Structure 1
Amino acid sequence: MKVYRDEDCDLSIVRAKRVAIIGYGNQGRAQALNLRDSGVSVAVALPADSASRARAMGEGFPVATAAEAATKADLVVMLAADEDHSRIFAVEVAPNLREGAALSFAHGLSIRFGLIEPRPDLDIMLVAPKGPGTALRTDFLNGSGLISLFAVHQDASGGAQALALSYAAAIGSGRVGILPTSFIEECEADLFNEQAVLWGAIPALIHAGFETLVEAGFSPEIAYFECQTELKLLADLIDARGIAGMKEAISNTAEFGALEGEPRIVTEETRAEMRRILAEVRAGGFTRKLIADAEAGYPRLRASRVQAAAHPIEEIRRKIVHLKE
């Protein structure tokens, strides 16, 4: 796989564009700030009643609605919530975006599953930093960056790839690596990972382990330390040394325990369920559920947040944090 770096990117391309960032959340704010620090002209697009307007204006950005920003933009970057893309694009962006402009995403979902059907005159590209906006901004300020994936879905101008690489370099990714992908690959792999590995499986394992120890009579504090706090140690070791290197860094007892436990937790049934999750993602089932929950006012998401906040492990976490103060 070709890895692109700063020397492969021409910053003058994006510096010659008027960029409108739609959204000023975790990614929107970080990308807007990094772009500006790289010499790019940036406006922020937010609803008239958005609470984020004051912050964006306070940090020196011109702020307008998406419709207003689109009329002046050469490049519109969709960094609002995925489930809002269809309405924002159809109602505000598409009628106002000039012919031959470009549209960029940080996630492939809206194109992969047809939430947006762009005009044929537009360049459609993806620049997806592999980490949260807070890390994107912090690493940029520290002289480094986050790896980004990039893809081109539609190259009306003939220069979409060069623009995508220029944009990725401007947010700092050229310092560490910009990797090619496709909208389909990025979207499907990301949705699978969110459900089957990171945000779905790992927190559920922490809860289950905590509950198992407490039910068996262990103190909640000990259960918390064993099942949650050591997760950061694991993540840091894997990040620094890889999984094989992590195993070399831990005790023989811990490594042998992993040898015993892994095949009993990650079973053939677990792998079969992972394959079913991936199949549902590819068939669009997950996206339909996401849009349905959004249109209903997020009842499932809201209930999940309430349930997570009420879990006993959160009370223990608050006690432990208080002890450190």
Structure 2
Amino acid sequence: MPGASDESRQLSLAYAKGIGGTRGGVIETTFAEETETDLFGEQAVLCGGVSALVKAAYDTLVDAGYQPEMAYFECMHELKLIVDPFYQGGLNYMRYSVSNTAEFGDYTRGPRIVTDETRAEMKRILKEIQEANSPWSGCSRTRPTSRLSRPSDATIATTRSSRWGWNCGG
């Protein structure tokens, strides 16, 4: 808590400990830094970026003639298989945990997706957040639709019953 007195720092840490907030660690920060990084992470990466990337990948596969169920599993369902090791041990652990072809994609395909234009757009989004420019203010909420949807429970059960995750029709 930059600029905080020692007494207020100790009181804040005591409150954090009292509600269980210190188990994962405490990062000393400002209200502005916490708010702006949280909004950026949610809007540009975790929700806005990931969901847009998943939808675009799904649409690419379906438009190329692949089954919607396969596109869903490859682009959406398997996301957790990548995020878990990423969360557990960071980027290098995730690379260690995936196949060689997946790691190759990280090194060679990722930079083709996140381009200089993507980085420039991320900077614009951060600036909007820093300037408190909320496009939701004063407008009604609309929910864009997507053709990406979870396969039926029957499809998932059939797929899971196969050792390799393939529906071999038998």
TM over 0.5: yes
CA contact (8 A) 2:58 2:72 kept: yes
Q: Name the counterpart of 1:282.
A: 130
Give 1:258 shift: 2.1
Amino acid across the alignment from 1:292: G
Q: Which residue of 1 aligns with 2:77?
A: 229
Aligned to 2:97: 249
Counterpart position of 1:17: none
* Aligned equivalents of 2:69, 2:62: Cα separation in 1: 9
Please give the alpha-carbon distance, in whole angstroms, between the structure 1 residues aligned to 2:115 and 2:24: 36
1:313 is matched with 148
Matched-pair identity in % = 43
Structure 2 residue runs without a partner (length 5+): 159-170
Q: Distance in 1 between matches of 2:21 and 2:79?
A: 27
Q: Which has the higher contact order (CA 8 A, sep 6+)?
A: 2
Q: Which residue of 2 aligns with 1:270?
A: 118
Root-mean-square deviation (Å): 2.3
State which of 32, 36, 58 in structure 2 corresponds to 1:188.
Answer: 36
In the alignment, structure 1 residue 292 sits paired with structure 2 residue 127: no
Q: Max radius of gyration: which structure?
A: 1
**Structure 1 or 2: larger strand share?**
1
Structure holding more helix per residue? 2
User: 1:172-203: CA deviations, max 9, x gaps?
Assistant: 12233111100111111111112211110001
Using the size of structure 2 for normalisation, the TM-score is 0.82
Q: CA deviation at 1:277?
A: 0.9
**After the TM superposition, which residues 44-59 of structure 1 pair with which residues of structure 2 at under 5 Å, given as runs?**
none
Secondary structure of the residue that 1:223 maps to in structure 2?
Answer: helix
Matched, 1:205 2:38: no
Pairwise CA distance, 1:229: 0.8
User: Could you say what secondary structure the match of 1:174 adopts?
Assistant: coil
Distance 1:160 1:292, change over 3 A: farther
What residue is the counterpart of 2:8 in the other structure? 160
Structure 1 gap ranges (5+): 1-150, 294-298
Q: Would you say how many aligned residue pairs link Structure 1 and Structure 2? A: 158
